[in-house]
């Protein structure tokens, strides 16, 4: 399971999202990405960054679960 929220602080020129969840090795991962709808059936996701989340980010994620 993952939690995706808008990254409003860094969305000046494009709308960004931050997704936090666990990878297949059960390690937490935070990914920042964009989404562009190209047609009714096609979209494009562009990954901006991926990193280990801070303890505060993990705590916030676990509270949402």
Average pLDDT over residues 15-40: 93
Q: How far apart are the first and last CA of the chain?
A: 8
pLDDT at residue 65 greater than cutoff 80: no
Q: Which domain holds residue 58?
A: 2-64
How confident is residue 50, by pLDDT bands cut at 50, 70 and 90? Answer: very high
In this predicted structure, what is the pLDDT of residue 19? 95
0.85 exceeded by pTM: no
Categorise residue 26: left if φ over 0, alpha if ψ from -120 to 50, beta otherwise: left
In this predicted structure, what is the pLDDT of residue 47? 95
Query: How many domains, in total, are found in the chain?
Result: 1
Residues 6+ apart with CB under 8 A from 15: 6, 34, 35
């Amino acid at each position: 399971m993952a939690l995706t929220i808008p990254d409003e602080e860094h969305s000046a020129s494009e709308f960004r999202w931050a997704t936090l969840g666990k990878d297949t090795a059960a390690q937490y991962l935070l990914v920042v990405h964009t989404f562009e709808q190209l047609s009714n059936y096609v979209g494009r996701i562009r990954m901006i960054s991926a990193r280990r989340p801070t303890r505060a980010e993990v705590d916030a994620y676990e509270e949402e679960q």
